[in-house]
Amino acid sequence: MKVVFEKLPQNLEEMKDCPYATLTKPEYAPALFLCAMTVYPQNKEEALKMVEYLKGPEGLSEYEKQFLRDRMEGQEYVPYSFFAGASVKNHYTPSLPYTLEFQTVPTSFPDDTHATLYIRSAGADSPRNASMRLKPSTGQWFLSQQMLLANIRIPEDIDPWA
């Protein structure tokens, strides 16, 4: 399940103009979430609006906002680590076009309205996951939970132990 971006959206309007904003496939929400997190260091409010959109009717809780703040402060490289071409040696600089590849496991779709997808970070030993929930009335898959922002290896160029 590949999701490819020629350009990463920088705000909610650009994200809504993206074909993936339809959220008609489960991989679209976590892909757009990672895009939103690339915006976070420069514009937290805009990034939170983007994530709020991806959460759908559930919305973004104060706990989730705090979690994002805790994970992103000083670690703006984390979302880039999921894109093809990124590595600990190149400060997680992705190749172009920006490509994300999600994987499934036998339990990824426990029923018709829930999905858990996995994606590798170049800075982690095991894939990270994101869970989505389908809203049947609209056919959209909204982000339910994500474990994408857990700590990863520090880029080699800023790692004092490298």
Task: Tell me the pLDDT tens digit for each residue of 123-154.
Answer: 999 999 999 999 999 999 999 999 999 889 99
Average pLDDT rounded to a whole number, residues 109-122: 96
Name the pTM for this structure.
Answer: 0.95
Q: Read off φ and ψ for residue 42, nearest 5 degrees.
A: -90, -30
**Would you say how long the chain is, in residues?**
162
Q: In this predicted model, what pLDDT tens digit does every residue of 12-42 receive, in sequence order?
A: 999 999 999 999 999 999 999 999 999 999 9
- Asked whether residue 68 carries a pLDDT value surpassing 90, the answer given is yes
SS (H, E, C) the chain: CEEEECCCCCCHHHHHHCHHHHCCCCCHHHHHHHHHHHHCCCCHHHHHHHHHHHHHHHCCCHHHHHHHHHHHCCCCCCHHHHCCCCCHHHCCCCCCCEEEEEECCCCCCCECCEEEEEECCCCCCCCEEEEEEEECCCCEEEEEEECCCCCCCCCHHHCCCC
Place of tokens 């790692």: 159
